[in-house]
Amino acid sequence: MAITLFVRGLINSSIRMNDTGVFTKPGPHQYPHQWNWDSALIALGLSHFDLPRALTEIRALLSGQWQDGMLPHVVYHQTPSDYFPDPAFWQIENSPNAPRFSTSGITQPPLLATIVRRLHARQPILEFVEEIYPSLLEWHRWLHTARDADGSGLVCIIHPWESGTDDSPRWLELLAAIQPETVPEFQRGDTRYVPALERPHRAEYERFIHLIDVFRKLGYVPADLLVHSPFLVQDVLFNSILFCADEDLRALALLLNQPTDAIDVWLSRMRSSFDARFWNDQMGLYYDYDLRSERSIQVNTITTFLPLFAGVASNAQAERLINSHLTNPSEYASQDGIWYGVTTTARTEPTWESRRYWRGPVWIITNWLVLEGLQRYGYDDLADRIRQDTLHLVEVSGFREYYDARDGSGCGSENFSWSAALTLELLMAPPNAENK
């Protein structure tokens, strides 16, 4: 218990370090504004020692919501910084839907409804749920309409940053196929504080910026983005998180005696399309789908385990994912029996790199998503193993953004907020507890 209290104090101070009072920076220098899914997880961590501050975090994020319901991936909150892209770069004023505040023009994985439901299950916050429910509903409605490109019920992303896994090898071929005639002038800020070999390559970064240029010229009109965005993908991670969040939104609706008809339709349409679109029975893996080339993106990454988090996989699919891939020493488990957590890309992928961002390193968020999925399917021992390894990782290397998949040494930003918040969650929330 003494250890737990000690660690809790350490984590608390690490989150406090990035606290501006209104929102929490993901990292002190590298990410000086408010990020969407980071904030949801930070609120989850904060709720263990300061629930009112957790609710402030969520309110601050929702203050950046667009008039059509879109919840942006970054809310800038007029905090001066050297971050690129700066607020002006997005030119969101080109859109009639832009909010009063400076934000980015794209979204991120919708974890928020799931987190709000968990907070309420631990300590009733009915008034707060009542207050923010309309904003959550509008965001989900926007996702299910503005981002349903083919009427399948599955939603699409238009930028790798929307996947939360920016330079994942899943995007490499798609990005290489985009040949921008012009890329606006820009100065990268991300390699100022973190070594370049831990950050995305220049070629990918140029395309990230080119895509923003395409979107701002289109005035962020959702229908035009679907027609013209060179990058249009149905992503397993994004759809899994949305499916789970739709179920949690439905539970919140019931709590408030609100109708669930629209949410029921979203859920049933997603469920009926999910396997046909994503499951590859020959490999026993879930793959993303590229709507531009109308092809499955056959790259084996950690996102294949996200349907476990959502509960959309059958028991047989879960068994194959776990026995043939997750615990396979040549893919995700390490050969020497020490895991450090789950590598973000299977080692069998030729593009695997141990320290580069989403190309291989271990992230606390993905460890958490995987172990939550394992618990859901009754693989408690394996979940506990990943939990212990994750705690060991932060004990040895601190709250880093990500960790070298070979030896667990820290990479990326230091004092990373969601690494601290999720450590707190792992320590304070008993496994298999009230989460579902």
| Pair 324, 316: CB distance under 8 Å | no
Residues 6 or more apart whose CB falls under 8 angstroms from that of 2 comprise none
User: Shortest approach of ligand GLC to residue 399 CB, angstroms?
Assistant: 12
360-389: contacts with ligand GLC (CB under 6 A)? none
Q: For ligand GLC, give the closer residue by CB, 245 or 253.
A: 245
Strands (E), 319-407: 402-403
Q: How far is the CB of 413 from ligand GLC (least distance, A)?
A: 8
Considering only residues 158 through 217, tell me which ones interact with ligand GLC, judged by CB under 6 A.
164, 166
Is residue 35 near ligand GLC by the rule CB under 6 A?
yes
The region of 34-42, 118-126, 217-225, 340-348 touching ligand GLC under the rule CB under 6 A is 34-42
Whether the CA torsion 12, 18, 22, 26 is positive or negative: it is negative
264: three-class secondary structure by DSSP: helix
Residue 412 interacts with ligand GLC (CB under 6 A)? no
Active site residue 86: no
CA 362 to chain centre: 14
Spatial contact of 423 and 364, defined as CB atoms under 8 Å apart: yes
Among the listed residues 57, 331, 372, 401, the single catalytic one is 401
Structure tokens at 111: 């974890």
Q: How many CA atoms lie within 13 A of 299 on its CB side?
A: 26
Q: Could you tell me the smallest distance in angstroms from the CB atom of residue 30 to ligand GLC?
A: 8
Residue 231 sits in the site that holds ligand GLC (CB under 6 A): no
- Which listed residue (7, 24, 26, 152) binds ligand GLC by CB under 6 A? 26
Among 37, 231, 243, 379, binds ligand GLC (CB under 6 A): 37
Cβ–Cβ under 8 Å, residues 351 and 172: yes
- Min CB(269)–ligand GLC separation in Å: 27
Out of 138, 162, 166, 190, the active site residue is 166
Q: Give the x/- contact pattern for ligand GLC in 150-169, rule: CB under 6 A.
A: --------------x-x---
CB of 35 to ligand GLC, least distance (A): 4
**Cβ atoms of residues 401 and 29 within 8 Å:** no
Q: Identify which of residues 38 and 389 has a Cβ nearer to ligand GLC in the complex.
A: 38
Distance CA 277, CA 275 (A): 5
| 401 tagged catalytic | yes
CA nearest 175: which of 209, 207, 133? 207
Burial of 360 (0-12, 13-18, 19+ CB in 10 A): buried
Q: Which residues are catalytic?
A: 166, 401
Tell me which residues touch ligand GLC (CB under 6 A): 26, 31, 35, 37-38, 164, 166
